[in-house]
Amino acid sequence: NCFKMCGLIGQGCGGKVYLALNVHTKQQYAIKVGKISKRSFHNYQREIDVLRSIKHDNIVAIRGVIENTKATCWVMDFMNGGDLLEDLHKNKKYTEARAREVTTGILNGVSYFHEHGIVHRDLKPENILLDKCGKVKIIDFGLSTRVSDQEFLTTKCGTITYMAPEVLRGEPYGRPVDVWGVGVTMFIMLGGYHPFHEPNLSKNNILVMKGCYKFYESHWRGVSCEAKIMIHNMLRVLPTARLTSKQALNSSWLREDDELTGSFFASRARKYIGMKK
């Protein structure tokens, strides 16, 4: 009774998401409502258990759970910037600086839950939320699962246009599938189109399994070689050749901002020291 529903803000196979107002604190939240069924109950419980076990600035926080015999509702932070796909529809594509900022946020979250033995299995722009300041949070852990370093997964799940080659082939897989999803997302941010965009799904799956995509000059003019190299290393067909989330965080493209910042302050420091002499 402490929440007032203010309207539907999202909908997917996992349930409906409503904007809600805490009538006591006047703070806005997102409430996800999932109808209980034999098939969905396990996914809901898994998502709740995973979100309760992890805490990170780039992963949506669960603030409470309301359950009855008909539905499960979980209260989460409201991100007032919408999802990444919506933002990309507005902006067509991102500058490298903006894409770098978003990619860093995503990879920070992914690296964190990978370290905690969790694989998301459905990373895509729709599952990345933004606030008005552009801060990133990963959502929708309904397909996530725990896996040890020695274990592999076999269930074919996720969004088919973001599935890694090994998942499409029906091969055992693990954490690298999430890096593939980040690679596809980064490609869309910088290029403005999906790397695998063949209308025929069967043909498209073949392109994915072969790792066939193109950096069209008309879309990629001005984008750095470092960015393309990072995408290439996240979209490697062989999972063992793909960057890990931690390796991706240490890539030269993501470190570029730090290097530029360091050079800027070093230059300012030299200038200041010169003035003092």
Rounded Cα–Cα distance for residues 90 and 103 (Å): 18
Number of H helices, E strands in the chain: 10, 9
Answer yes or no: 57 catalytic. Answer: no
Rounded Cα–Cα distance for residues 225 and 248 (Å): 15
Cβ contact 91:139 at 8 Å: no
Residues contacting residue 152 through CB under 8 Å, at least 6 positions apart: 172, 173, 174
Residues contacting residue 257 through CB under 8 Å, at least 6 positions apart: 97, 100
Cβ contact 33:15 at 8 Å: yes
| Catalytic residue, candidates 87, 122, 140, 178 | 122
Rounded Cα–Cα distance for residues 22 and 5 (Å): 9
The one-letter amino acid code at 64 reads G
32 is in an annotated binding site: yes
Cβ contact 31:18 at 8 Å: yes
**Which residues form the catalytic set?**
122
The binding site consists of 32
The binding site for ATP consists of 32
